[in-house]
Chain A
Amino acid sequence: MHAPAPPIAIERLVKIYKTVPAVDGISFTLTPGSVTGLLGGNGAGKTTTIASIMGLTTPTSGRVTVLGAEMPRQRYRVLHRMNFESPYVAMPMRLTIRQNLTVFGRLYGVPDLAARIAQIGEELDLTDLLDRQTGKLSDGQKTRVALAKGLINAPELLLLDEPTASLDPDTADWVRGRLERYRRERNATMLIASHNMAEVERLCDRVIIMKRGHIEDDDTPAKLLLRYGRRTLEEVFLDVARGRGVESEAAQ
């Protein structure tokens, strides 16, 4: 019997836009049920990496496999088992939440859609808002709607790009709690691109730090803190971003 394919396997991925390498030979594999943070400054290659995983870009070279399907060539085999949430992609503003979720539910082939919308509305505290236009919601409510769309098909693999950007601390904490619960209940795999180090420390059991298209470090948050001799991931991030090496290297 074959072992299930890893949720994400990237081998020597290179993506060059014209002459600029956005991603330059990165490799990593995620295990089922893991939550991994993808960190890096602006231009580090996070967005391109996530776009390659979703099949939105074609690799210049290397290989991206998602749930056993090579991306983007075999994307239609697996797109219904994954989903994505980002504040940089919006939902049609004139449609109500229920209408938006109906459209996306049908696109993803969600069975018993009305019940699923009711369930997800309850889970994300959207029940009273379901028939309100999406454009008339607050930023926090819109983020919850985007998350509802991301979870509508109960994905095995969830890609999150800045899931709590522009949210107040209370709402951000609430969203993180829902993500933790979803992972627990479904054993879902998540890849989170974030600039919020507190969020990464709380949610992720593995952190990949990118810089200029390369992976600079890849470990558990605890081991990274130990290795860099830092108390927070933010300090680790700054060390990497500013070219300061790990503590052992610094000592040498």
Chain B
Amino acid sequence: MTTLGDGVLDFSLRRTGAMMLRYWYLLRSSWPRLLDLVYWPTVQMVTWGFLQFYIVQNAGFFAQAAGTFIGAVLLWDILFRGQLGFSISFMEEMWARNIGNLMMSPLRPFEFIAALMVMSIVRLAIGTVPVTFLAIAFFGFNLYSLGLALVAFFLNLMLTAWAVGIFVSGLVLRNGLGAENLAWSIMFLFMPLTCVYYPVSTLPAWLQPVSWALPPTYVFEGMRALLIEHTFRPDLMLSALALNVVFFAAGLFGFLKLLQSARRHGSLIQAGE
């Protein structure tokens, strides 16, 4: 760790808490930010909910698979909003031109990342929990009826979301806000490949190994197994977890390397441009 700096692995709950407080102050002060957290998940859930409602009335197979679409929408939102929640909190610092202040403070990279991870859960809770209740009210789909399986789904999706969020934050730190669009769009690359709305077997054979290399694929397959076959597949969850360990470690490694590169190239001086 010498090249990253002595003491880079020190961890202080006080400093991490300070950063969480900073984001909480921000969220609390801005109703548009709060509204934005709830708006898209609601729109998505309602749209897909009605689509499923229509299909169920017209197809026998889907009648047995009630909740698959809404379940997929809600789980996709955990993945997408989890990453976005992480990345947006990070970019708030770039937009505010505050990243220089943080980089010159005793805040360690891992403390910064930990605060962003916690805040992504807070943002997700604000945005998604009300929507899960709407899904019950509108379509009779109770996400919480998935029970312990939901915990396994959530943990795996959040690990992927954080891994991607950490890496994208490193890219923005190294390349400035020119890389901002990646934060908004990178997860959509995962959407077709992780088979959110259809089984992996739908993909051409040559693409299926790519799909199985991505942890969320196992979660969405697991969700379909649970809703259609009423079977919880721990093997899928363990495979996802193993892949997530690799993804998360790669995300952290990438972030630290990009931070080092930013120091070499002077990007931290012009951060925000």
Contacts and interface: CB of A to CB of B under 8 A. Distances in A.
A107 B105 contact: yes
Q: Which of A22, A51, A54, A86 has the most CB of B within 10 A?
A: A51
A89 B105 CA distance: 13
Nearest to A57: B266
B72 to A, nearest CB: 35
Interface in A10-63: 15, 17, 22, 47-48, 51, 54-58
Interface in B196-230: none
22 contacts: A17-B265, A48-B266, A51-B266, A56-B266, A56-B268, A57-B268, A57-B269, A58-B260, A58-B264, A74-B6, A89-B98, A90-B96, A90-B97, A91-B101, A94-B29, A95-B26, A95-B29, A103-B21, A106-B15, A107-B19, A107-B107, A109-B15
A51 B269 contact: yes
Contacts of A93: 96
B21 A76 contact: no
A133 interface: yes
B8 A76 contact: yes
Contact of B10 (A51, A76, A95): A76
A133 B268 CA distance: 26
A76 B92 contact: no
Closest 7 CB pairs of A and B: A106-B18, A76-B7, A90-B97, A89-B100, A103-B22, A56-B268, A79-B106
Contacts of A107: 15, 18-19, 102, 105-107
Contact of B104 (A73, A74, A84, A102): A84
A182 interface: no
Contacts of B5: 55, 72-76
Interface residues of A, number: 41
Contacts of B2: 73
Contacts of A95: 22, 25-26, 29
B26 A48 contact: no
Q: A interface, by DSSP: helix, strand, loop or mixed?
A: mixed
A9 to B, nearest CB: 18
B55 interface: no
A6 interface: no
A149 interface: yes
B96 A92 contact: yes
Interface string B1-43: 0110111101010110111011001100110000000000000
Given A89-B101, A103-B21, A109-B14, A133 B106 contact: no
A46 B15 CA distance: 30
Given A17-B265, A48-B266, A90 B98 contact: yes
B233 interface: no
A92 B92 contact: yes
Contacts of A181: none
B106 to A, nearest CB: 5
A184 B107 CA distance: 29
